[in-house]
Amino acid sequence: MFVATGNEYEPSSVQWSQLCRHFEFHEILTTTKNFDESLVIGRGGFGKVYKGNIKNGSTLVSAAIKRLDSMSNQGASEFWAEVEMLSKLRHCHLVSLIGYCNHETEMILVYEYMPRGTLADHLHKLGTPLSWCQRLKICIGAARGLDYLHTGTGIEFGVIHRDVKSSNILLDESWAAKVSDFGLSIISPRNQTSTYVNTLVKGTFGYIDPNYFATGKLTRKSDVYAFGVVLLEVLCRKRAVDKSLDCGIATWAQDSIKAGRLKGIVDYDIRREISTKCLKQFAKIAERCLDNYPKNRPTMAEVVVSLEYVLTLQEKTYNLSQTASKTIFGRMVDKFSFSDSGQNSGIFQSPHYVCAGSVLSWS
C-alpha cells in the first residue's frame, strides 16, 4: 500500500478526498508561529499538538496541528495510514482531517479543533463534573463512531482502530464524542466478524485485548474489548491502569462485580444519580465487552443499541422522579392551601404559618 521514495513513504494508489488537502510547510509555520510552545494543547505518542487558525479554502478555521516528533516511536507508516484512513472516512463521531504536510523530515497532520479536549482529561485530570446522562451520551457517540469504522464505512473493507482509549475520544463544544488517532488502524474484511489480521501487537497497555496480546490475532472484537475498558473508566472514574489499584481496572471491576460490590465501584459524583436498573444494565454491557472469548463479545452496533437503552432507562427514571416530586409538592399545596371567602386560594399566605426548613409549624 505504501512505497518508499528515498527516506519518505508515500501512498502508491490513494485517491485523496477533496476534503483533505496538502498544506505547504510555510502555512504551518505561520499558523503555529514557528511552533510556539504557548500554542501547545496536547502531547501524545506521535508528538506535540498545536492550536492555530488556518485557511481551508476561503475559510479560516480553528485547527489542531499534530507534528511528528523525531524521537517518537511512530513514523512515516503511521502518518500515511492516518492520512489515508481519514481521507476516506467521514462521520459525525470521527475527528475530521483537514489536511496534512510532509516536508523533508517534517510530518504534520491538521485536524478540526475539538474545544473540550479529551475524555481522559475530563475524567482524570480536570475533575470535570460530568453527569451520568452526559457520560452515557459521550459513550454512545464514541460507540457510533467505532461502529461506523467497523461496518458502515461504505468501502469494501472495514477498519479496526487498534488504539481505542479515553484519550483518543475527543469532545466538541456540545460535548459530542469524536474518535481520533488512526495511526495504528488496520483495514479488515467488513463482512466477516471472525476474520483476523496477524500483526505485531500494538496499542496501549491497559486497553489491549488479552486474546490479541496472546495470539497476535487482531479482530474488530479487540476494539470492543478496549471500549469495555473505556466504559469502566466512565463509570468508576479510574484510569485503565490506576495507581490506587493492584491490577488493571478491567480485572478490579470484574472481581468487584462478582463479589457483589457493583455499587462500590461507581464514581462517588454519580452514585445518587444512577438508577439501580440502569447501573446493572451498564455493567452487563461492560462485562460482555470484556469477555475473555472474542466471539462472545457484542458487536459495536449491539453496544450502541444497548447503551441507548440504558440512557432511555436513566431518562425515564429521572422523569418519574421529577413527576413524583411535583406530585408530592402538589399534595402539600392541596393540604396547606385555603380559600378566603371565595377568593383565589393561596399557599402559606396566613401570618400564622412559619416554614422552618422542610417542617411546617404553627406560630
pLDDT digits (tens, 9 = 90+) for 303-325: 999 999 999 999 888 776 666 55
d(CA 289, CA 50): 34
pLDDT score of 135: 97
Q: Which amino acid is at 187?
A: I
User: Could you say which of 36, 69, 147, 163 is catalytic?
Assistant: 163
Q: Which helix (H) or strand (E) holds 309?
A: helix 300-336
Q: What is the DSSP string of 201-233?
A: --S-TTTS-HHHHHH-EE-HHHHHHHHHHHHHH
Helix or strand or coil: residue 26?
Answer: helix
- Helix, strand, coil % over all residues of the chain, rounded to 5: 40, 20, 40
Helix or strand or coil: residue 3?
Answer: strand
Q: Could you tell me if 217 and 211 are in contact, meaning their C-beta atoms sit under 8 angstroms apart? A: yes
Q: Which residues of the chain have pLDDT under 50?
A: 1-17, 338-363
Residue 109: name the closest of 119, 121, 95, 99 by CA.
99
pLDDT score of 158: 84
pLDDT score of 120: 96
Please give the share of the chain, as a percent, with pLDDT higher than 90: 55
d(CA 10, CA 169): 28
pLDDT score of 351: 37
**Grid coordinates of 329:** 409538592
Q: Could you tell me if 77 and 2 are in contact, meaning their C-beta atoms sit under 8 angstroms apart? A: yes
On whether the 119-316 domain is CATH 1.10.510.10, my answer is: yes
- Domain ranges, ordered by start, for the chain: 2-112, 119-316
pLDDT score of 58: 80
On whether the 2-112 domain is CATH 3.30.200.20, my answer is: yes
Same CATH fold assignment for domains 2-112 and 119-316: no
pLDDT score of 230: 98
**Grid coordinates of 180:** 481520533
pTM flag (> 0.75): yes
Q: Give residue-wise pLDDT tens across range 173-183.
A: 999 999 998 88
163 is catalytic: yes
- Under DSSP, the state recorded for 290 is T
pLDDT score of 321: 62
Q: Could you tell me if 139 and 122 are in contact, meaning their C-beta atoms sit under 8 angstroms apart? A: no
Q: Could you tell me if 298 and 290 are in contact, meaning their C-beta atoms sit under 8 angstroms apart? A: no
pLDDT score of 154: 60
d(CA 252, CA 275): 22
